[in-house]
Amino acid sequence: MQNDNLDSRREFMIKSIMSTGLLASPYVNCGKLNVTKPMTRSFGRLGFEVTTLGLGGQASIQWTPAGVDPIAIIHKAFQSGINYFDTSNVYGPSQRNYGVAFRELGLVPGLPGYRESKRRAIFLTSKTGLRLSKGEPTNTVPRGFTEGPESYTSAIQDVKRSLSQIFGDGEGAYPKGAYLDMVLIHALESQSEIETLYLGLEDTSPDMEVIGALAGLRDLRDGTNLTGLNPGEEKLIRHVGFSGHFSAPIMMEMIQRDAHDLIDGMLVAINANDRLYQNMQHNVIPVAQAKNIGVIAMKTFADGAMYTKNAHFSYLPEHVIRSVGSPSLPSRHLIEYSLTTAGVHTLITGIGQISDDPQLCQLTQNLSAAQVRAEEFSPSDRQEIEEMTRFVKNGATNYFQDKYQGLTPPRQVAVMQGSAGDQRIYSVTWQSAYAGAEPIRTYEIWRDQHKIAEVPNKPQTDLHPFVYKDAVTDDGAHNYKVVAVDAKGDRR
């Protein structure tokens, strides 16, 4: 009886989708691709070879302009060999559009034509804007978004909503064997959000009145019920990650707080104007790289602000860019910039439209541009692309990113005194500085107005501070300071 009910729900879902006219839409062929086998990169520690271009879940998949078929875009991406697919609970119809396409592509468990090997060959990521697994929600829609499941209070419910919309009936049911490869905690911005997300991760108990999203997502990943919120001990997701547009320091701390290596992926804004702001490429991306986290780049076109759209979050079909670059700023260079940023594994781009003419087809052009090795561009190559973009909209393209702050001094510098035999040992500790336009090279240690040492910078992957130990034999008092020095010699 249960299977009969599920089959009935599936049939109802397909009929409902068909009534929208989506399944009846003619598919558009972009023409022959010049990429027969897309380039891949090892996706951090996730054990997956990911194509350098992934399909973003916004643009025409979310805000569909008249005359554009979002299902055809998903089909074309899949047929072109792209294997990374992105969507979110706050992307309106995006997940449901994937649901239609996945049925037709044989990617839905339990339906005719489904093959598990075919499903495992793609990587599907969705997102939740909810910060709690249990308790009253503090935020249901990330800043800059206008849609969200406001009746939902839990990140666990968001996961099940995604599975239902993509693989099930859209009303809460999903078939056995359905899963998401990764769920990202979406649009992280503040310290208070980090505190909320990590609530209950240690010594988790169902008796807790408030449990953060991470503990619940861990249950869904591991098939455990430490929270009491996964009584069926379902394994519904493979990996957990987070996304961020705004604050590199907040994103750094999100990773540094993760003592259990729960976070496997990070979606981060990175484009050729990154260094005009408090940048991601010299701050959080190296931290993720040092922990072998899978890094997904986004906003390579600044949500269209590199071209004709004003610098604000999109929310209407008319905000979707449907052209391919411009004569003065080819889209290829922007894609190459993001994908030659050290630590980046794949780039998601939204697609406004596809076309019979390969020159006008965004998917064809973006995929062709993405066939670039990480080490292929020199620093001067990247600087040339930065020069091409820095005057677009007077440099104010990255509205989603924190303003430029320059190199900061090391944080929380402290000195502790001990002894070893006839020596006094001063332990100088500090938390990492934040880079400005250039990466941090070293930390100088000064004692009583004299530089006594240089400590090479390395990404700080946890909350344990840098430490320098200084042995002295005299009995006098000493003063210490730590100075951050970047690659161009600027000092703070």
Q: What is the CATH number of the domain that holds 218?
A: 3.20.20.100
C-beta neighbour count of 375 within 10 angstroms = 8
Are residues 450 and 314 part of one domain? no
pLDDT of residue 138: 55
Q: Does 401 reside within a domain?
A: no
Whether residue 144 is found in the same domain as residue 249: yes
Structure tokens at 354: 């596809």
Question: In which band, very low, low, confident or very high, does the pLDDT at 422 lie, cut at 50, 70 and 90?
Answer: confident
**What are the pLDDT digits (tens) for 466-485?**
999 999 988 889 999 999 99
Whether the CB-CB separation of 204 and 127 falls below 8 Å is answered with: no
Q: Are 338 and 423 part of one and the same domain?
A: no
In this prediction, residue 137 has a pLDDT band, given cuts at 50, 70 and 90, of low
Tens digits of residue pLDDT in 231-284: 999 999 999 999 999 999 999 999 999 999 999 999 999 999 999 999 999 999
- The enclosing H or E element of 77 equals helix 70-79
One-character DSSP codes across 207-225: T-S-EEHHHHHHHHHHT--
Residue in the block written with tokens 């009910």: 5
pLDDT of residue 23: 33
* DSSP category for residue 276: G
Beta-bridge mates of residue 123:
84
454/389 same-domain check: no
Number of Cβ atoms within 10 Å of the Cβ of 43: 26
DSSP category for residue 402: P
pLDDT category at 142 given cuts 50, 70, 90 is: low
**pLDDT at residue 190 is higher than 80:** yes
Domain total in the chain: 2
Residue 339 has a pLDDT of 98
Here the CATH number for the domain that contains residue 446 is 2.60.40
Asked if residue 95 belongs to a domain, the reply is yes
Tokens 């609530």 appear where?
A: 199
Same domain, 200 and 283: yes
Please check whether residue 22 lies inside any domain of the structure. Answer: yes
150: left (phi over 0), alpha (psi -120 to 50) or beta: alpha
Please tell me the predicted confidence (pLDDT) of residue 143. Answer: 53
User: Structure pTM?
Assistant: 0.91
Q: Give tens-digit pLDDT for 78-132.
A: 999 999 999 999 999 999 999 999 999 999 999 999 999 999 999 999 999 999 9
What mean pLDDT comes out for the span 314-330? 95
- Cβ–Cβ under 8 Å, residues 168 and 177: no
Task: Identify whether 403 is part of a domain.
Answer: no
Number of other residues whose CB lies within 10 A of the CB of residue 327: 5
Q: Where among 368, 395, 422 does a domain terminate?
A: 395
pLDDT over 50 at 2, yes or no: no
Q: Are 201 and 215 in contact (CB under 8 A)?
A: yes
Do 252 and 298 sit in the same domain of this protein?
yes
Query: pLDDT tier at 420 (50, 70, 90 boundaries)?
Result: confident
Are both 210 and 242 inside the same structural domain?
Answer: yes
Domain holding 205, by residue range, is 2-395
> Collapsing DSSP states into helix, strand and coil, what is residue 314?
coil
pLDDT of residue 140: 52
- Shared-domain flag, residues 201 and 263: yes
Which tokens is 187 given? Answer: 């649009």
Burial of 448 (0-12, 13-18, 19+ CB in 10 A): exposed
454/384 same-domain check: no
Average per-residue pLDDT in the chain? 91
Residue whose token pair is 């986290």: 293
Residue 447, pLDDT above cutoff 50? yes
User: Exposed, middle or buried, 122 (CB in 10 Å: 0-12/13-18/19+)?
Assistant: buried
Strand ranges (DSSP E) for 301-410? 346-349
- Report strand pairing: 423-431 vs 466-472: antiparallel
| pLDDT at residue 421, rounded to an integer | 83
In the sheet that holds 440-447, the strands lie side by side as 450-456, 440-447, 480-486
Asked if residue 400 is part of any domain, the answer here is no
Is 72 inside any structural domain?
Answer: yes
At residue 148, does pLDDT exceed 80? Answer: no
Together in a domain, 291 and 211: yes
Burial (0-12, 13-18, 19+ Cβ within 10 Å), 479: exposed
Give the residue from 367, 395, 423 where a domain finishes: 395
Confidence of residue 10 (pLDDT cuts 50, 70, 90): very low
* Mean pLDDT within 13-25: 34
One domain, residues 33 and 174: yes
Confidence (pLDDT) at 314: 96
Residues 40 and 154 in one domain: yes
User: How far is Cα 382 from Cα 366, in angstroms, rounded to an integer?
Assistant: 18
Q: List, for residues 372-389, the tens digit of each pLDDT value.
A: 999 999 999 999 999 999
Q: Which domain-ending residue is among 395, 428, 456?
A: 395
